[in-house]
Amino acid sequence: MAISLAELATRLSARLVLAPSSLAEAPLSGVAPLEDAGPSQVSFFSNARYKAALLATRAGAVIVGEDDAGLVPATAARLVCAQPYVAFAKASAIFHPEVRPAAGVRAGAIVDATAQIDATAAILAGAIVGARAVIGAGTVLHPSACVLDDARVGAGCTLHAGAIVRERCVLGDRVILQPNCVVGSDGFGFAFDLEGDGDGPLHRKIPQAGIARIDDDVELGANTCVDRATLGETVIGRGVKVDNLVQIAHNVQVGPLSLLVAQSGVSGSTTLGAGVILAGQVGVVGHLKIGDGARVGAQSGVSRELAAGAPVRGAPAIAHREWLRMSAALPKVPELIKELRRLEKRVAELEKKGT
Amino acid sequence: MAISLAELATRLSARLVLAPSSLAEAPLSGVAPLEDAGPSQVSFFSNARYKAALLATRAGAVIVGEDDAGLVPATAARLVCAQPYVAFAKASAIFHPEVRPAAGVRAGAIVDATAQIDATAAILAGAIVGARAVIGAGTVLHPSACVLDDARVGAGCTLHAGAIVRERCVLGDRVILQPNCVVGSDGFGFAFDLEGDGDGPLHRKIPQAGIARIDDDVELGANTCVDRATLGETVIGRGVKVDNLVQIAHNVQVGPLSLLVAQSGVSGSTTLGAGVILAGQVGVVGHLKIGDGARVGAQSGVSRELAAGAPVRGAPAIAHREWLRMSAALPKVPELIKELRRLEKRVAELEKKGT
Amino acid sequence: MAISLAELATRLSARLVLAPSSLAEAPLSGVAPLEDAGPSQVSFFSNARYKAALLATRAGAVIVGEDDAGLVPATAARLVCAQPYVAFAKASAIFHPEVRPAAGVRAGAIVDATAQIDATAAILAGAIVGARAVIGAGTVLHPSACVLDDARVGAGCTLHAGAIVRERCVLGDRVILQPNCVVGSDGFGFAFDLEGDGDGPLHRKIPQAGIARIDDDVELGANTCVDRATLGETVIGRGVKVDNLVQIAHNVQVGPLSLLVAQSGVSGSTTLGAGVILAGQVGVVGHLKIGDGARVGAQSGVSRELAAGAPVRGAPAIAHREWLRMSAALPKVPELIKELRRLEKRVAELEKKGT
């Protein structure tokens, strides 16, 4: 895959500013980070933190915003645009076009006779499709991916190896499930029954009779779990991206465009607004409402409702700024205790004198 | 599935108090939460937090305890009983009877010739049963579930898609494994060998020669792992319920009826008593004894033995009440430091005057 | 498997000191912990914590260091050596020799015609090997393990059931993947695109075009994920051991002999040096350098570079010793606030008097 500077500029809707040494028709061979890129590669700059790398780059071209265009070394052409990181994503997609397997049900796939598989879908060897399940146009099931009875998968989806969509669950279009991701596992619902069935107390299972619904353009990470609802639906909204090893409990609603980073977890019946960000290893307790655009810092524990846009951190989570001050202060507490003791002595001394 | 109010009352051993508008023989169509239920549905009330929803419900009938029966709106019949949440679980199970596939080994299942499969078990397409493995009466292996060599699975179990029971491990009766759950992975055991095998130091693997044993009525969540013992057995006791993405290390013993919520983890050789509750994302270090009924709050870190029944929280975990006071106080520390500085100045001023 | 005391001593390069009751040619039947071992079993002592168990042991022989040899009861033979825990690992391996299935591609395995399978490898029923994939000598793929297109697996590897190696990823020799482990899932990389494609903002996927490379002698735990690189390679260095449910993000580099305990996570582009230890549930943010031999205590959050060998703890992580002092002090803060208030009153009283 080679493409000229000029063509790349066109496809990115970027303004091309050639370097003295560069030719608009020079073929580019790929994308690379600033520090690795060579003269035939295109890189990008969108974070002031990497300014030194920009100044030293050997890249043949750099995607850059208007304000930073002047920083690009004279050896590199500039592809000037409004959203450099987005343009980089597009450029990388041009150089790494997704390879989708040819349509068809392969030998070694196990497809129930009552399943409806679109003729343009690809069901690879070892993939499994259950009774009455529906697979949309262009969707790919990789080896050992399972879509169980009565589940529906939309168009243009990719279910990687070992991904499982349990009974009756619904995936929209262009959904991506990374390997061993689970959609529609039973929620964790039990009623403690003191009487039991004659053999002492037990945890009586509450049927998890609902489903999980994954809207369009969602991606779920490897080994991530989305539980089905007790009744009704667990919903992952349009364009949500979920990292690996994330737990999403029964009846959770995740608003569109939210981001859930690795190993975070959301307890049952909690609702996340649109564009919420949970950083890594965050936990959110159940039955909460988290406002649109709330941002929760890594390893935080959220046990109260969060207002829209609130950046919070810590466990229990507090305003991010307050958390920064607090966590800088806490290691001083042992010394603080000593200081207080010393001061108390001085006050006692003064009191003695005063009497 | 429709059932009359009168019959439901009988099956729940509940006392039926009809509303003016309700008929004992009126058919009910299902269960629903208080806020969603309509006149043909039954709901329940067991948590004072939802009192407003109870007062406003349009449910045709409400399962309720004796003390709260008076709160049910006049439009709803009452099903009065001792354990309303348990009765709701039973009611929901009546309306959502489990669908168990027909017995038999399906085409596409891979069953070793030496495996013993009960004639009433169902081994679905893509499931795998290894050499000498035993599958009990009525047990279901969903697609791509694996029971490996010499493992034994009891009666009435459900192994969802992708669940794996490794070699020689043992499951009791009525065990449920959610998708991609792993039983019997090797424990994390290595001896650091400074000498190695001539190629520098290495971590020498300690054979994980034991097994994992899962007792009757246990449920393990999606992507949860139970490691086999180094020697002997890792044991998950009768009636334990484990949520998704939980780590249970080698030689752990989990006492009966314990609950382990999502993303919690228990390190090697730790023993949990009966009825222990670990909330989400809790970590427990190895070689500890946790007393019966200990309750550990979310995200806590337990590094010391816990007495029976102790509710603890935090990392390191302290008494729950103490943790509440502490976490309310900690954000005040930055201000506390300033106050101490100011006070110190005032004391110094007094001392100056005093001299 | 039975072996005499004398032969075991030879194979462990240990000095054999017989007990009055023991015979060099007496056959041993296995290994066991000090408290469980009987007269025909060998145990070991390497941790002062278990001194009481040593004194009470009924083991026929105890592997022990020179300094502790005198503590072994008179009923037990001593196998004296420099690294008792390592010798125990070797002894256990002698009594529990790994059972590797016979070579060959079993019926029910799905192997692409273009894959290269070494004649000594074992591809078990239900395992899947993709196009142009390479499987080395003696490697075992257990049921439902998947090695996808163009991936390469070295010699002597064990891929347990459900383990997945995605396209183009590379495993060295003697690598062990526990069940449902994932190598080469897409990294979590998205550019927020305010313009989108005409339907509002979206998270635009950045192609994860690189691979994951797992070096020789690595073990990855059950349900652990190693993401492929955005560009280039995610690398798990030689001899690294990773526990269950660990997240390793795109472009992470883990130095040789590091240990990552269960449920820990490393964010994108972070580099861990050699011999780093992350305890359970630790999180490390992205783009950091962690020095050789750094040790991070359980549940810590690392958000800054760590020097070589630094033992740290807490979130944010601080020096381990400082963390111990801090966490002992923090529960005192509520009382501290009260004391400060009382002292302030006393100072105000003194000031009043002074005027």
The domain limits of chain B are 3-95, 104-321, 322-355
DSSP alpha helices (H): ranges in B171-279? none
- Tell if the CB–CB gap between B231 and C31 is shorter than 8 Å: yes
- Tell if the CB–CB gap between C160 and B144 is shorter than 8 Å: no
What CATH architecture is B104-321? 3 Solenoid (2.160)
User: Residues A228, A229, A233, A238: is their CA dihedral positive or negative?
Assistant: negative
Tokens encoding A208: 């998890």
Tokens encoding A232: 């009704």
Q: Domain A104-322: state its class.
A: mainly beta
Measure the CA–CA gap between A144 and B161, rounded to whole angstroms: 10
pLDDT score, position C51 = 95
**A106, pLDDT greater than 80:** yes
- Tell if the CB–CB gap between A143 and C318 is shorter than 8 Å: no
Residue in chain B lying closest to A326 (CA): B331
Q: How much is the mean pLDDT over chain C? A: 96
CB atoms within 10 A of CB B59: 29
Which residue type does B319 have? A
**C259, pLDDT greater than 80:** yes
- At B144-192, the pLDDT tens digits run 999 999 999 999 999 999 999 999 999 999 999 999 999 999 999 999 9
Q: Is B195 on the interface with C (CB under 8 A)?
A: yes
**How remote is the C-alpha of C30 from its chain's centroid?**
26
Q: Are C34 and C50 in contact (CB under 8 A)?
A: yes
Model confidence band, residue A122 (pLDDT cutoffs 50, 70, 90): very high
- Bin C119: left if φ > 0, else alpha if -120 < ψ < 50, else beta: alpha
Measure the CA–CA gap between A247 and B262, rounded to whole angstroms: 7
Tokens encoding B337: 């430091």
Phi, psi values for residue C41, rounded to 5°: -115, 155
Q: If we measure between CA atoms, which residue out of A81, A80, A74, A79 comes closest to residue A58?
A: A74
Place of tokens 């969802």: B160
User: Residues B329, B333, B334, B335: is their CA dihedral positive or negative?
Assistant: positive
> Which member of A128, A185, A281 has the closest CB to residue B143?
A128
Q: Are C133 and C147 in contact (CB under 8 A)?
A: yes
Q: Are A240 and A259 in contact (CB under 8 A)?
A: yes
Q: Are C278 and C261 in contact (CB under 8 A)?
A: yes
Bridging pattern class, strands B158-159 and B283-284: unpaired
Q: If we measure between CA atoms, which residue out of A120, A223, A112, A219 comes closest to residue A164?
A: A223
User: Residues B299, A250, C205, C194: is their CA dihedral positive or negative?
Assistant: negative
pLDDT score, position C26 = 85
Rounded to a whole number of angstroms, the CA Rg of chain A reads 27
State whether residue C175 is helix, strand or coil: coil
Phi, psi values for residue C278, rounded to 5°: -105, 120
- Residues 126-165, chain C, touching A (beta carbon < 8 A): 126, 128, 130, 144, 146, 148, 162, 164
Query: Catalytic one among C142, C250, C287, C320?
Result: C250
What CATH architecture is A3-95? 3-Layer(aba) Sandwich (3.40)
Best probe of the B interface among A164, A169, A224, A313, by most B CBs < 10 A, is A164
**How remote is the C-alpha of A286 from its chain's centroid?**
20
Q: How many CA atoms lie within 13 A of A2 on its CB side?
A: 7
Place of tokens 């900690």: B330
- At C282-319, the pLDDT tens digits run 999 999 999 999 999 999 999 999 999 989 999 999 99
- Residues 111-130, chain B, touching C (beta carbon < 8 A): 112, 126, 128, 130
Residue B256: CB partners within 8 Å, gap ≥ 6?
Answer: B215, B237, B238, B239, B240, B274, B275
> Which member of A166, A202, A265 has the closest CB to residue B281?
A265
* Distance to chain B for A193, nearest Cα, Å: 6
% of chain C residues with pLDDT over 70:
99
Q: Which residues of C37-57 are buried (b: 16+ CB within 10 A; e: fewer)?
A: beeebbbbbbeeebeebbeeb
Cis peptide before C316 (omega within 30 of 0): yes
C-chain residues near A90 (CB < 8 A): 204
Mean pLDDT within C274-287? 98
Phi, psi values for residue C51, rounded to 5°: -60, -40
Q: How much is the mean pLDDT over chain A? A: 96
Best probe of the C interface among A50, A123, A164, A178, by most C CBs < 10 A, is A178
The residues of A carrying an active-site annotation are 250
Instruction: Kindly tell me the burial class for residue B7, based on how many C-beta atoms sit within 10 Å of its own C-beta (0-12, 13-18, 19 or more).
Output: middle
For the residues of B284-338, what is the DSSP string, one character each? E-SS-EE-TT-EE-TT-EE-S-B-TT-EEETTTTEEHHHHHHHHHHGGGHHHHHH
- Residues 35-74, chain B, touching C (beta carbon < 8 A): none
Measure the CA–CA gap between A223 and B88, rounded to whole angstroms: 32
pLDDT score, position B11 = 96
Best probe of the A interface among C231, C246, C288, by most A CBs < 10 A, is C231
Residue in chain C lying closest to B263 (CA): C263
Measure the CA–CA gap between A346 and B320, rounded to whole angstroms: 35
> Which member of B231, B332, B346 has the closest CB to residue C337?
B332
pLDDT score, position A1 = 67
> Which member of A89, A179, A351 has the closest CB to residue C191?
A89
As beta bridge partners, residue C203 has C192
**Cα dist. B243→A85, A329, B141, B260, C222 in Å?**
38, 36, 20, 6, 16
Measure the CA–CA gap between A37 and A56, rounded to whole angstroms: 11
Q: Are C308 and C327 in contact (CB under 8 A)?
A: no
Under 8 Å CB pairs connecting chains A and C tally to: 192
Tokens encoding C25: 């040619």
B-chain residues near A330 (CB < 8 A): 330, 333
Measure the CA–CA gap between A36 and A32, rounded to whole angstroms: 6
Q: Is C191 on the interface with A (CB under 8 A)?
A: yes
Q: What is the pLDDT along chain B (355 residues), one digit of tens a residue?
A: 679 999 999 999 999 999 988 888 989 999 999 999 999 999 999 999 899 999 999 999 999 999 999 999 999 999 999 999 999 999 999 999 998 999 999 999 999 999 999 999 999 999 999 999 999 999 999 999 999 999 999 999 999 999 999 999 999 999 999 999 999 999 999 999 999 998 899 999 999 999 999 999 999 999 999 999 999 999 999 999 999 999 999 999 999 999 999 999 999 999 999 999 999 999 999 999 999 999 999 999 999 999 999 899 999 999 999 999 999 999 999 999 999 999 999 999 999 987 6
Model confidence band, residue C1 (pLDDT cutoffs 50, 70, 90): low
pLDDT score, position B290 = 97
Under 8 Å CB pairs connecting chains A and B tally to: 193
- Tell if the CB–CB gap between C89 and B192 is shorter than 8 Å: no
Mean pLDDT within A88-99? 95
pLDDT score, position B213 = 98
- At C142-175, the pLDDT tens digits run 999 999 999 999 999 999 999 999 999 999 999 9
Measure the CA–CA gap between C223 and B262, rounded to whole angstroms: 14
pLDDT score, position A323 = 97
Length of chain C equals 355
pLDDT score, position B198 = 87
Model confidence band, residue C260 (pLDDT cutoffs 50, 70, 90): very high
- At C81-125, the pLDDT tens digits run 999 999 999 999 999 999 899 999 999 999 999 999 999 999 999
* DSSP, res C306: B
Measure the CA–CA gap between A126 and A109, rounded to whole angstroms: 5
